[in-house]
Amino acid sequence: MNTSKIVSVVTGGAGFLGSHLCDRLLNEGYHVICIDNLITGDTANIAHLLGKAEFRFFKHDVTNYIFIEGPVHHVLHFASPASPIDYLKLPIQTLKVGSLGTHKALGLAKAKNATFLLASTSEVYGDPLEHPQAESYWGNVNPIGFRGVYDEAKRFAEAMTMAYHRYHGVETRIARIFNTYGPRMRVDDGRAIPAFMSQALRNEPVTVFGDGSQTRSVCYVDDLIDGIFRLLLSDANEPVNIGNPDEIPVHQLAEEIITLARSASNIIYKELPQDDPKIRQPDITKAKAELQWEPKIPRKEGLQKTLEYFKQKILA
């Protein structure tokens, strides 16, 4: 494909994943239009891009009409609060960006005859009764629980995306993203790795919810973005899991981070939040077969790179 003037729109482009995606698209030779209302995003994540001729940033709420002049080849919808601390604080905004925001982003893709890629989530599986989770699994979600505002927003977004594909013929991709970590996560993100790292670097008690036996499968951001890019260029219209199947108990993850940080922290245990998933592991058979993708970066290497970023943020 000739990349001399391929234009990709990234909603939520100043966020953790969105900003890394902007980097990758620019490195591939694309022109990037980044849209973010900065409700959880941060211009610091894209500051290194602001002087580039191939990059434009618009502060805009994508639940409102999106106007882009000229051709657009890809619309990648990454706008949404993504951590429990954010969507519990911003429940209405989370539901709106998953519904109205997805509708507006799909409308842009339809108008421009562009490929649309939805950043969905493993949260569509809820607290799963199937393990590992394959794309064929419909999930076990509490629609009226505290986490329902995020889970159901993403489930609706997937349904809307498939409706646009089937009814309007829009080329669509759906990435079900599993736990991802790396530089540019917020210190106060609230998810396990940022919380463990910030507490360990400050030599504070590291908080593990429940007894720590619940599992997560964590993927380093560079691997995740490579999977997203491969999905964008594929012809896979239906959902594809993107994540690292290397499953680890949460208490072990906390211990590894304490060791890497050479911290004096100890682990304390608190009550498990409502509807917190007990297990989470992607079945990436489809990604391997259709995208020729699987994660390559070992956890220790990824955690070390992330820890260096958090040191700069916390100890500077």
What residues act catalytically? 150
Residue pointed to by tokens 């629609």: 143
- Residues with Cβ within 8 Å of 84's Cβ and at least 6 positions away in sequence, in order, are 146, 147, 150, 190, 191, 273
Plot region of 133 (φ>0 → left; ψ -120 to 50 → alpha; else → beta): beta
Distance CA 78, CA 12 (A): 5
Q: Using an 8 Å Cβ cutoff, are 222 and 251 in contact?
A: no
Q: Using an 8 Å Cβ cutoff, are 83 and 123 in contact?
A: no
Strand, helix or coil for residue 185: coil
Distance CA 244, CA 233 (A): 20
The residue count of the chain comes to 316
**Alpha helices, DSSP H, located in the chain:** 16-27, 84-89, 91-96, 102-112, 148-168, 192-201, 221-233, 250-260, 285-291, 299-315
Residue pointed to by tokens 């001729």: 53
Distances (CA, A) of 23 to 32, 155, 206, 236: 9, 28, 32, 23
Distances (CA, A) of 135 to 187, 240, 266: 31, 6, 38
